[in-house]
Amino acid sequence: MVLDYNKYPFMVSVDEVIKRENAVDLYTLLTTDGKAIREAKNRIREIVTGKEVKRLKEYTSPQLVFFAELLILGVLNDKRTTERVLRKEKDLFMRDLEREEDADLLTVFKWLGFNVKMSSLKYHEVTRGKVQPKRLDYSLHFLEYLKAIKGSKEFPLTQRILHKGYVYMDRSTLLKLLGFNLLKRLRETVKPIPMEEVPETLVDIIMMRGGKTPPCIRAIQEKRERSREEALALAVYMANTGSSVDSIALVLEKNGEENPMEQVKRIFKEKMVIYSCQRMKELGMCVSDCGTRSPLQFYYGSADITK
């Protein structure tokens, strides 16, 4: 039986999807299909707030929603959120995989880089004084097994049966090992995306929640006199967080800007984004170690968007 890649979109490469849709890149593809971005955003929201979510296969474009989801997690760049979402997706994938035939499970393992074999080993086990026949139907070379269990204490080699260089397992253990390695692979697929590279169509993704003013911005707000760089940083931050055009212009006007409204228009036209925390440090505007990469990350609360 051939695996349904709409049930398991992680097995399809993003390049395959882009080629199939005749798109230039993923950003362009997701911009064209705005529905996938919206669905992925809502899906993440539902997962982090503890709501039940439907299977990816139930979406019109399962693979696009999946890649949009990974993209959003890269934009948020928050370990707790990413881990929660990926664990949920792994659990949903495993619900389906548990019902798949052996050959299909081996296909997924092969995709993960492990050559699991159908190889039965019969033995006897003494339980409460009774001898019971047992059988293990799956095997993996012990070197591959050591690689597969790296980072986990759940699958010690001492609790497995090793025969002629192969580790033997039952289906239950095989599925647990599959889930563990699938989660590891999903983690590897989420790559941080610098705020400066976020396309316009994805800007609202960051706006999952908000309200906290970063210490660096608060410090600038409290200053009676601001440098031109500080005033611009504050103005851009205000634009990014939804302040009115007039209030942004007033900040620039008070700082001596000759054409404040023109500057505000330029901020919006060029889609300026507040500096990263690293750049704020370089400019001497960072006043506290917040554990974030950008003042916007602090404002929108991506350190824990579930609160």
**Residues 173 and 147 placed together within one structural domain of the fold:** yes
Residue of higher predicted confidence among 249 and 78: 249
Residue 3 has pLDDT above 80, yes or no: yes
Report if residue 264 sits inside a domain. yes
**Residues 213 and 293 placed together within one structural domain of the fold:** yes
Task: Report d(CA 293, CA 159) in Å as an integer.
Answer: 43
Give residue 305's pLDDT: 36
Count of beta carbons in the 10 Å neighbourhood of residue 296: 25
Report if residue 304 sits inside a domain. no
- Give tens-digit pLDDT for 148-207: 999 999 999 999 999 999 999 999 999 999 999 999 999 999 988 776 676 665 655 545
Contact call for residues 26 and 14 (beta carbons, < 8 A) = yes
Q: Virtual CA dihedral for 182, 156, 136, 124, nearest 10 degrees?
A: -160
- Give tens-digit pLDDT for 74-86: 877 777 788 989 9
DSSP 8-class letter at 212: P
Last residue within a domain, chosen from 65, 82, 98: 98
DSSP 8-class letter at 204: H
Alpha helices, H only, 7-101: 14-20, 26-32, 34-48, 62-76, 79-97
**Residues 80 and 108 placed together within one structural domain of the fold:** no
Report if residue 47 sits inside a domain. yes
The tally of domains found in the chain comes to 3
Domain that holds residue 253: 209-299
Residue 242 has pLDDT above 60, yes or no: yes
| Residue 216 annotated in ligand binding | yes
Report if residue 204 sits inside a domain. no
Long-range CB contacts (< 8 A, 24+ apart) of 273-276? 273/195, 273/196, 273/198, 273/236, 273/240, 274/195, 274/233, 274/236, 274/237, 274/240, 275/233, 275/236, 276/194, 276/195, 276/196
Instruction: Return the SS3 of 131.
Output: strand
Report if residue 4 sits inside a domain. no
Q: How confident is the model at residue 256 (pLDDT cuts 50, 70, 90)?
A: confident
Among 20-24, 26-30, 207-211, 302-306, the minimum mean pLDDT is found in 302-306
| Residue 286 annotated in ligand binding | yes
Q: What percent of the chain has pLDDT over 70?
A: 90
Residue 245 has pLDDT above 90, yes or no: no
Report if residue 307 sits inside a domain. no
**Residues 55 and 92 placed together within one structural domain of the fold:** yes
Q: How confident is the model at residue 301 (pLDDT cuts 50, 70, 90)?
A: low
Report if residue 236 sits inside a domain. yes
Give residue 147's pLDDT: 97
| Residue 277 annotated in ligand binding | yes
**Residues 217 and 151 placed together within one structural domain of the fold:** no
Give residue 303's pLDDT: 38
Mean pLDDT of the chain: 86
Task: Report d(CA 35, CA 65) in Å as an integer.
Answer: 9
Give residue 144's pLDDT: 97
